[in-house]
Amino acid sequence: MFKTLIRGACLSAALAAGALGLTTAPAAANDISFGITIGDGHGYRGGGPRYDDRGPSRHRGDFCSPRRALREAGRLGVRRPYVARETRRAITIVSARNGAEVRFAQRRDCPVISYRR
């Protein structure tokens, strides 16, 4: 019985010492300052990004244009390419010589959807 009592006391002392080490001291403030802030300092419309910071857009040249799709088709080996069809999702480039057809998605970096020789 005495052994159990000492074991419990040691365990509670160890827990108390561990809990004492985990507490943080309050931060000491060296000075006090006052100021006026209009808005929350994050920009347009309550913290959201501005229109210029929203990522790639069609006007900044990141998306696939017909001119860029023609250039990419030429790099793939399509001879005398021309734009056969353009939708909001894809641009179709066809060869004037052998009828090869390449479809590009209107996404960033003009990914190839299909390629037919």
Alpha-carbon gap, residue 1 to 84, rounded angstroms: 94
Residue boundaries of the structural domains of the chain? 63-117
pLDDT per residue over 19-39, tens digit each? Answer: 655 555 566 556 676 666 666
Tokens read off for 56: 């790639």
How far apart CA 17 and CA 25 sit, in angstroms, is 15
- Paired with 108 in beta bridges are 63
Q: By percentage, how much of the chain surpasses pLDDT 90?
A: 37
Q: If pLDDT is split at 50, 70 and 90, which confidence band does 114 have?
A: very high
